[in-house]
Chains A and B, each alone.
Chain A
Amino acid sequence: MATQTYDVFQVIADPSRRQMLQLLSEDSLTINALASSFDMSRPAVSKHVKILHSAGFISIQDIGRERYCILNHDGFAEVQEWIDYFDAFWKSKLKKLEALLNEKTGSHKL
């Protein structure tokens, strides 16, 4: 099977994958347990799991003899990106305000 990269929106656009994410947001599950919730073949479930994994939505961990799917917060890193963006944004804007106010002090003393 050819490897295909999916963007976040394509990943979530599929109803089965959305349902998997919902189940995994409640608890980590083995691939078998996950498969039992769906009316599809085990390989089909594995394919969805692979897609969710490659997009960073879940991580897969071997615990004992079982392979678990765990909701991964890296898939949600965009929040941190927003925060970093606005953090830098405000810092530079407030510096500008400071410069403006200093200018004001220079021209008319309080």
Chain B
Amino acid sequence: MKEIKHQFSFPHPPAVVWEYLTDAELLAQWLMPNDIKPVVGHRFQFKTKPRINFGFDGTVYCEVLEVVPNEKLVYTWKGGMSKEKPLLDTIVVWTLTPTAEGTILQLEHKGFKGLKNYLPYFIMNKGWAKIGKRLFKKMSAV
């Protein structure tokens, strides 16, 4: 399994659910502090608990890829020890479907790749040994 999928039904029209996905304050009430805007190309961040021993400093870097008001929202979801070298490079897709009772909200979180996908990068990158050591030091310090 390389992706996550969840579906929830809400007794509210899509427009209401949409607000909770795209308004920074409403989104922060249930997800995490953020500076989202439903504008394609907008870059924003979420702040969460770091998982240092896992190579994650707690900041999620996002960029809005697709906006269809009240229907669909897509953004990147990247994280790691820095913005430049994300260990986690994934995509979050929200889909809203109106029903007689309200809305079905579907979340897909996909694009998880393993170390294996980074092997060519490791092999090509001569600076890796240095990066690896630095990362190791950082992780050991915690």
Contacts and interface: CB of A to CB of B under 8 A. Distances in A.
Contact of B107 (A13, A15, A94): A94
Interface size class of B (residues with CB under 8 A): 35 or more
Nearest to B32: A93
Contacts of B31: 93, 96-97
A104 B54 CA distance: 37
Interface residues of A, number: 37
Nearest to B20: A97
B16 interface: yes
Interface string A8-21: 11101111001101
Contact of A100 (B30, B51, B114, B123): B30
Interface stretch (A30-38, A39-47, A60-68, A73-81): A73-81
B136 A7 contact: yes
Contact of A104 (B12, B114, B129): B12
B33 interface: no
Interface stretch (B1-9, B34-42, B61-69): B1-9
Given A21-B119, A110-B13, 15 more contacts: A9-B135, A13-B132, A18-B123, A18-B128, A79-B114, A79-B115, A82-B54, A83-B4, A94-B107, A97-B20, A101-B10, A104-B12, A110-B11, A110-B12, A110-B16
